[in-house]
Structure 1
Amino acid sequence: MSDVFINQRLISSDSAPFIIAEAGINHNGDLATALKMVDAAKQAGVDAVKFQTFKADEFCGDPEQLFSYQSQGETITEPMLDMFKRMEFSIEQWHEIKAYCKKQDILFLSTPQNPSDLELLLEIGINAIKIGSDDFTNIPLLQTYKKTNLPIIVSCGMADMAEIYQALEALGAIDGYPVILCLCTSQYPTPPEDINLAKLNTLKSAFPNLTLGFSDHSQGYLASALAVGYGACLFEKHFTLDNQMAGPDHWFSENPNSLKAWRDAIHLAHKMRGSAILRPSEAELEMRTLARRSIVALKDIEPGEQLDSDNIGLRRPGNGLPPLLLNKITGLQASKFIKQASLLQLGDIANENLD
């Protein structure tokens, strides 16, 4: 397994989190809405905005298959094919979306549903491929995508460990192909009890050199912020311009304001995660002097006077002899006059060889 770079940026737990705003199909097939979503993602400060590229009749097999979803407070049931057809963009529109992302200086990503969709995306230019949980076990498709030599982000919703190993092997991740595996729960939205962030520990133990991410379908920012501490370094979340828009994903998606809060929470959590090296911070080094104790004279001490609990003790500040030496100097004699409240120094003590 090797390092993963997206748009020349290293994706790792030691780097800043890589954050993707998932537009998905929340543009409702309207180009103007899609471009506004690019604006919203840019304003939220995320690294990339991701769409879904498909031709509905190439992945929806039964034109009569019904799909029920919540929209604007109501349950809508309609043929899945009809719904997805409304969400399609032409190749010209995809070119326009990609060009607008470049203009706004935000990375364009999209999930291709089929090899023909991948060809379209390769034509307009992409830096990575995202594979959704729905195709995690589609081994022929994974092997096709691997031939691009582009880094692959893949979500593992609905999968067990055997399927995860199978997919990673098909993608070549075991042998070093650049893959980011995203923990994901395919429930929309995901309730807290089904998020199971501890699975990230399992994945890290099973694949210690694999880059991990989190495709977050919960509501709010807490799950993603916590996932930082479990080692996730790439994050993805659905968003919409307005939770009241018609469509299957709007009601549970983040809006522009909560999208920024989500992004900010991830970066704050990463800052809090910090370093695993146990050493004091710069501020703590200053606090040592203020808060720790030193050996001090509790009263004036005359030359030759024996040091004991009546005339020496431990008080702040902490820039004198440390408490560790208190027992060692007790019983020794002062070599000179020591004024009350003074910090004792080795030169104040006769026979100060304390090794």
Structure 2
Amino acid sequence: MVDTISAQHLEAPIQPVAIGGRLVGPGQPVYVIGEIGINHNGDVDVARRLIEVAAEAGCQAVKFQKRTPEICVPADQRAKLRQTPWGEMTYLDYKQRMEFGLREYRAVAKYCAERGLDWFASPWDVPSVEFLEELEVPAHKVASASVTDLELLRALADTGRPVLLSTGMSTLEEIDAAVAVLGTRELVIMHATSTYPMPAEEANLRTIGTLRDRYRVPVGYSGHERGIQISVAATALGAVAVERHITLDRTMWGSDHAASLEPSGLRNLVRDIRLAQEALGDGVKRVFPGEEEPRRRLRRTTA
């Protein structure tokens, strides 16, 4: 793909992407996404509380995951028994128990609208794309696991909506193929490493610049680390969006809670992202007003 990109394209400024009523891209406030994912544990009240946490922390969006279990659960896994908070059940029954339907997502949409948040989801199959389209989400997210699912990517491209593409566990060639299907006009790429939780040595944040230069689209960061330092560093390296899993309590039952931010951690993350972005400035060297008095007092001049 990249071999066919013209020099003119490589020199063109990267254009922001509109998601809901906000622009995501260079020169815009970092778009912070609280990923609720499946951390609602199938409970709309937990989802509502997480939406409130995201809004109070200063996020712009929350993100969920949407699956059709009969499609996404492998046949050899469906009858396997699993211990859950609702008792012992088959893996297929468990996945069905965790899914929200139209009633639940309409409640989610209402809560988000009341708190001024965008909401969208990662669909894991084509019927889930159709389901989310019925709810008129402002964007779609491609999970790292779905980068090579070209049928799903074609369905997403056909919606005409903005797409955020996570790139964990993917090669550049696989990302090239995904971008060829999705196009670049309404695309935000999210650098990610799909280790849960992710150690610092696997963050490879300089990839943010690599992806930005290769595809000439806005690039963000989807993190799975503990703590907030790496996500803040991603902002300093130009990430235009930051996505982190959120939870009410990391000790809650479920696979994603341990690598999620609790409410205080999310508040600190948003605070530090805003501070880091403000501190970056515009790169123009100047004498700032606060320097004028020390300059007069401390500078020595000679005739």
Please report how far the alpha carbon of residue 80 of structure 1 lies from its aligned counterpart in structure 2 after TM superposition: 4.6
Aligned counterpart in structure 2 of residue 284 of structure 1, from 280, 283, 291: 291
Structure 2 distance, partners of 1:61, 1:67, is 11
Contact 1:63 1:80 in 2 (8 A): no
Equivalent residue for 2:156, pick from 145, 165, 170: 145
The partner residue of 2:73 within 49, 60, 71 is: 60
Residue 242 of structure 1, CA deviation: 1.3
Q: Supply the AA of the counterpart residue of 2:210.
A: T
Q: Quick one: distance in 1 between partners of 2:35 and 2:186?
A: 21
In structure 2, C-alpha distance between the alignment counterparts of 1:148 and 1:273, rounded to whole Å: 36
Pick one of 270, 283, 286 that aligns with 2:277: 270
Determine which of 116, 134, 154 is the counterpart of 1:123. Answer: 134
Question: Would the alpha carbon gap of residues 205 and 67 (structure 1) be closer, same or farther in structure 2, given more than 3 Å must change?
Answer: farther
**Structure 1 residue 86: Cα displacement:** 2.2
> How far apart are the structure 2 equivalents of 1:191 and 1:83?
30
Partner of 1:156: 167
Q: 1:97-112 maps to which residues of 2 (within 5 A)? A: 97-112=108-123
Q: Distance in 2 between matches of 1:94 and 1:62?
A: 27
Q: In structure 2, which of residues 76, 81, 102 is the aligned counterpart of residue 91 of structure 1?
A: 102
In the other structure, the counterpart of 1:37 is 50
Identical counterparts, % of pairs? 31
| Structure 2: gaps spanning 5 or more residues | 1-13
Q: List alignment gaps of at least 5 residues for structure 1.
A: 296-325, 327-355
1:293 to 284, 287, 300: 300
- Partners of 2:76 and 2:202 lie apart in 1 by 32
What SS does structure 2 have at the residue aligned with 1:27? coil
Counterpart of 1:121 in structure 2: which amino acid? L
SS of alignment partner, residue 188 of structure 1? coil
Residue in 1 aligned with 2:6?
Answer: none
Distance 1:286 1:67, change over 3 A: farther
* C-alpha separation in 1, matches of 2:78 and 2:284: 55
CA contact (8 A) 1:183 1:199 kept: yes
Does residue 199 of the first structure (1) align with residue 181 of the second (2)? no
Q: 1:120 corresponds to which letter in structure 2?
A: F
Matches within 5 A, 1:44-83: 44-64=57-77, 80-83=91-94
TM-score scaled by length of structure 2? 0.88
Distance 1:258 1:201 in 2: 26
Distance 1:104 1:63, change over 3 A: farther
Q: Which amino acid aligns with 1:146?
A: A
Find the aligned partners of 2:249 and 2:80 in 1 and give their Cα distance: 22
Verify the 8 A CA contact 1:114 1:141 in the aligned structure 2: yes
Partners of 2:136 and 2:69 in 1: how far apart?
22
Partner of 1:134: 145
Q: Which has the higher helix share?
A: 2
Is 1:244 the counterpart of 2:251 in the alignment? yes
Question: Structure 1 length as normaliser, TM-score?
Answer: 0.76
Letter in 2 for 1:278: K
Question: Per the alignment, do residues 54 and 243 of structure 1 end up closer, same or farther by CA in structure 2, a change over 3 Å counting?
Answer: same
Q: Deviations over 1:113-135 (max 9, x none)?
A: 22222222222221111111011
Contact 2:197 2:226 in 1 (8 A): yes
Deviates more, 1:234-243 or 1:98-107: 98-107
Root-mean-square deviation (CA, aligned residues, Å) is 2.4
Q: Deviations over 1:42-88 (max 9, x none)?
A: 1111111111122211211225269999x99xxxx986534422211
Cα distance change, pair 199–248 in 1 and its aligned pair in 2 (3 A): same
Match of 2:182 among 167, 171, 175: 171
Equivalent-residue separation in structure 2 for 1:165 and 1:277 (angstroms): 35
1:21 aligned residue: 34
Task: Tell me the CA shift for residue 136 of structure 1.
Answer: 0.7
Between the two structures, name the one with larger relative contact order (CA 8 Å, sep ≥ 6): 2
User: Is 1:188 the counterpart of 2:196 in the alignment?
Assistant: yes
Counterparts of 2:199 and 2:109, CA distance in 1: 34
Query: Aligned residue for 1:318?
Result: none
**2:280 & 2:188 partners in 1: Cα distance?**
20
DSSP-derived class of the 2:283 partner? coil
Tell me, what secondary structure is at the counterpart of 2:244?
Answer: strand
Counterpart contact for 2:16–2:26, Cα < 8 Å:
no
Equivalent runs, 1:224-263 vs 2, <5 Å? 224-263=231-270
Indicate how the Cα distance of structure 1 residues 141 and 104 shifts in structure 2: closer, same or farther if over 3 A, else same.
Answer: same
